């Protein structure tokens, strides 16, 4: 029997191939896929690593977030394909840490971490935070916000088509950190003693431990604040036990740079101690201001003395202490220059209290070639401060006027006029006596 369109062996082969294909379709089962009908993400969070911080510390809080969500119902259907997004997978996850008090200030914004699948998968996030210096010891619960999307319904309209329904969700989980007890200092007094620019003095401190921790083997440290002109020369004082609520007094020697002015400058105080765990720690520093006075100033208040050229004269220069502290054992010195010389250029002034004056006496010689004019000379005052430190004032200008020679006194120093007169009078008396004797002998 033959069919139209087929002939010989070619027709037979086609029939055999067709039968084999039909047989394969009847024997092979339809491929099966897993379909999950129930489940959702389930998050937990905990601090990993360090979870204890000190007041005033810059902290890094590391948090481990875990998705323990399970797919609770699954179904095997013929003619389906595997779904890509499972119900227990959290998609487009954003994690943020916030604080509900001023004790902890979180500085890091919420972080996007992508997808987190279920069955115990985890992700680690880190947040920068500042622990307030005024934070009290204890445990603090910080809310951790986890925002994400997940599939609640997976519908399959055809063997090759899935329809996903996504829902927004947010979980708020508590994360606990601990602020450990610490010594915290309060400066009750910071009294400067003789702090003058360019000199050395002392700072008297009275401090209290307002923290909950008892400090053992404690030492109070006085520290320079940045570029403050107040520089400690004695920076550490051992005080031993420093219990909570305890008060101690300390005295430190400091130096003040010469460019300081009349104002308050900062200085830092901290306490190093051994805590209850036997660890040596340092408390947060406390900054206070101490008043500094400028370098003691002096002023020349006397009138300008006059010295005729070609003569010598004793002059007086009056100085006044315009500072706020006493200048002890003050000594004035003047520097001469041609055409005026000074034979004794140093004068003792004694102790000069603020506002008091004293006079210095100098021997001045004006050369005959000096031009009549006002000459300026440099003068300085060296003295000792309250603590015996040697100090020197800024340069003080002293003005001396050289005047022209008066008529009849050319080349004769002013102090020699009386002597010259006596010599002339004596000569005249001798001549008169000689004439008188000669007249007497001729009679």
- pLDDT by residue (tens digit) across 223-277? 999 999 999 998 999 999 999 999 999 999 999 998 898 899 999 999 999 998 8
Which residue do the tokens 């020679």 mark? 405
- Residues 158 and 57 both lie in one domain: yes
Q: How far apart are CA 80 and CA 93, in angstroms?
A: 29
User: Which of 73-82, 106-115, 425-434 holds the top average pLDDT?
Assistant: 106-115
Predicted confidence (pLDDT) per residue in 279-291, tens digit: 899 988 899 999 9
DSSP structure string for 150-187: EEEEEEEEETTEEEEEEEEEEEEEEEEEEEPP---EEE
- Residues 253 and 154 both lie in one domain: no
Residue 9: CA count within 13 A, CB half-sphere: 0
Mean predicted confidence (pLDDT) in 301-322: 93
Averaged confidence pLDDT in the chain: 84
- Residues 283 and 242 both lie in one domain: yes
CATH number for the domain spanning 315: value is 2.60.40.10
> What is residue 319's three-state secondary structure?
strand
Q: Say what the pLDDT of residue 191 is.
A: 94
Q: Residue 118 has what DSSP assignment? A: S
Smallest CA-to-CA distance from 331 within 365, 298, 295 is with 298
- Residues 134 and 217 both lie in one domain: no
pLDDT at 25 over 80: no
* pTM reported for the whole predicted model: 0.60
Q: Say what the pLDDT of residue 156 is.
A: 58
- pLDDT grade, residue 411 (50/70/90)? very low
- pLDDT grade, residue 27 (50/70/90)? very low
| Percentage with pLDDT > 90 across the chain | 55
Q: What is the tally of structural domains in the chain?
A: 3
Task: Output 38 or 176, whichever has higher pLDDT.
Answer: 176
Is residue 72, in this structure, part of any structural domain at all? yes
Q: Residue 276 has what DSSP assignment? A: T
Q: How far apart are CA 182 and CA 138, in angstroms?
A: 11
Is residue 21, in this structure, part of any structural domain at all? no
> What is residue 346's three-state secondary structure?
strand
Is residue 114, in this structure, part of any structural domain at all? yes
Q: How far apart are CA 167 and CA 385, in angstroms?
A: 81
Q: Which domain holds residue 309?
A: 298-403
Q: Say what the pLDDT of residue 33 is.
A: 53
Tell me the CA distances in angstroms from 210 to 101, 112, 131, 257, 282, one per residue in order. 21, 41, 17, 33, 15
Is residue 432, in this structure, part of any structural domain at all? no
Q: Say what the pLDDT of residue 74 is.
A: 59
Q: Say what the pLDDT of residue 203 is.
A: 95
DSSP structure string for 224-257: E-TT-SEEESS-EEEEEEE-TT-EEEEEEEEEE-
Residue 251 forms beta bridges with which residues?
204
Predicted confidence (pLDDT) per residue in 59-102, tens digit: 999 999 999 988 766 555 545 555 667 888 999 999 999 988 88
- Residues 341 and 258 both lie in one domain: no
Task: Output 420 or 417, whichever has higher pLDDT.
Answer: 420
């Amino acid at each position: 029997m033959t069919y139209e369109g087929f002939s010989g062996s070619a027709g037979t082969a086609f029939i055999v191939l067709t039968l084999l294909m039909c047989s394969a379709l009847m024997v092979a089962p339809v491929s099966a896929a897993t379909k999950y009908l129930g489940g959702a993400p389930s998050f937990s969070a905990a601090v990993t690593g360090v979870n204890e911080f000190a007041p005033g510390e810059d902290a890094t809080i590391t948090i481990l977030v875990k998705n323990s969500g399970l797919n609770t119902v699954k179904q095997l259907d013929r003619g389906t394909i595997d779904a890509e997004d499972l119900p227990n997978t959290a998609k487009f996850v954003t994690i943020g840490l916030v604080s509900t008090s001023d004790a902890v200030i979180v500085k890091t914004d919420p972080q996007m971490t992508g997808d987190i699948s279920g069955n115990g998968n985890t992700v680690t996030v880190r947040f920068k935070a500042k622990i307030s210096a005024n934070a009290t010891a204890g445990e603090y619960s910080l809310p951790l916000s986890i925002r994400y999307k997940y599939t609640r319904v997976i519908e399959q309209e055809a063997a090759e088509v899935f329809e996903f329904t996504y829902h927004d969700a947010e979980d708020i989980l508590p994360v606990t950190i601990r602020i450990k007890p610490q010594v915290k200092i309060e400066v009750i007094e910071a009294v400067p003693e003789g702090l003058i620019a360019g000199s050395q003095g002392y700072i008297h401190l009275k401090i209290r431990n307002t923290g909950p921790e008892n400090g053992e083997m404690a030492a109070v440290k006085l520290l320079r604040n940045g570029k403050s002109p107040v520089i400690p020369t004695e920076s550490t004082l051992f005080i031993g036990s420093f219990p909570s609520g305890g008060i101690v007094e300390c005295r430190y020697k400091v130096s003040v740079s010469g460019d300081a002015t009349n104002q308050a400058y900062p200085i830092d105080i901290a306490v190093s101690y051994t805590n209850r765990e036997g660890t040596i720690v340092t408390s947060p520093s406390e900054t206070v201001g101490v008043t500094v006075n400028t370098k003691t100033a002096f002023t020349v208040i006397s009138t300008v003395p006059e010295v005729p050229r070609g003569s010598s004269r004793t002059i007086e220069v009056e100085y006044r202490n315009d500072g706020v502290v006493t200048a002890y054992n003050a000594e004035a010195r003047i520097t001469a220059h041609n055409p005026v010389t000074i034979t004794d250029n140093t004068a003792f002034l004694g102790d000069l209290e603020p506002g008091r004056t004293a006079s210095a006496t100098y021997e001045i010689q004006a050369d005959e070639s000096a031009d009549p004019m006002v000459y300026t000379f440099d003068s300085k005052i060296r003295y000792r401060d309250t603590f015996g430190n040697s100090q020197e004032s800024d340069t003080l200008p002293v003005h001396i006027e050289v005047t022209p020679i008066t008529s009849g006194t050319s080349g004769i120093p002013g102090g020699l006029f009386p002597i010259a007169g006596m010599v002339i009078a004596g000569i005249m008396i001798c001549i008169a006596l000689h004439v008188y004797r000669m007249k007497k002998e001729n009679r």
